[in-house]
């Protein structure tokens, strides 16, 4: 079974829990920090809220049904969709999308290889 890590993200008073392969958690955290640094420079009218990674952990057990665990690739797909929807005119949003899509592609390949090795 592959080693997974968990990111805890916060946007206002909402928490989100994301499961990622351990080898890619650093990239998710670094990407999140970069996006937060750059999102302030966007001039579009409707910039979606971006949660901050507030913690990482090796093990996570969610108690109850108030929260759910988001698959890493699902999170990256949602992140890519939200940044694709930004109608930015002055800041080169393409560079941010390139970074998002690079991690997205790496995860797609990882999950594909993991699925094949289990077959």
pTM over 0.85: yes
* Rg of the Cα atoms in the chain: 15
Please, which residues have CB within 8 angstroms of residue 97's CB and are 6 or more apart in sequence? Answer: 80, 83, 84
Helix (H), strand (E) at residue 63: none
Task: Identify the DSSP state of 59.
Answer: -
Average pLDDT over residues 61-88: 93
Other CB atoms within 10 A of residue 99 CB: 17
Residue 91: pLDDT band (50, 70, 90) is: confident
Strand partners, 8: 17, 55
Q: What's the pLDDT score for residue 93?
A: 86
Q: Return mean pLDDT, the chain.
A: 92
Backbone angles phi, psi at 82, to 5 degrees: -70, -35
Calpha distance 60→5 (Å, rounded): 8
What pLDDT is stored for residue 1 in this prediction?
A: 63
DSSP H or E stretch at residue 56: strand 52-57
**Domain layout of the chain by residue ranges:** 4-118
User: Which residue, among 97, 82, 108, 117, has the nearest Cα to 21 in the 3D structure?
Assistant: 108
């Amino acid at each position: 079974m592959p080693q997974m890590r968990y990111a805890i993200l916060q946007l206002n008073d909402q928490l989100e829990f994301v499961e990622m392969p351990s080898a890619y958690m650093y990239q998710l955290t670094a990407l999140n920090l970069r996006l937060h640094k750059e999102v302030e420079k966007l001039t579009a009218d409707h910039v979606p809220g971006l949660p901050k990674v507030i913690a990482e952990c090796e093990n996570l057990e969610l108690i109850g049904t108030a929260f759910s665990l988001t698959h890493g690739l699902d999170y990256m797909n949602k992140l890519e969709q939200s940044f694709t929807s930004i109608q930015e005119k002055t800041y080169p949003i393409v560079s941010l999308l390139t970074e998002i899509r690079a991690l997205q592609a790496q995860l797609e390949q990882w999950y594909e290889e993991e699925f094949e090795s289990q077959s």
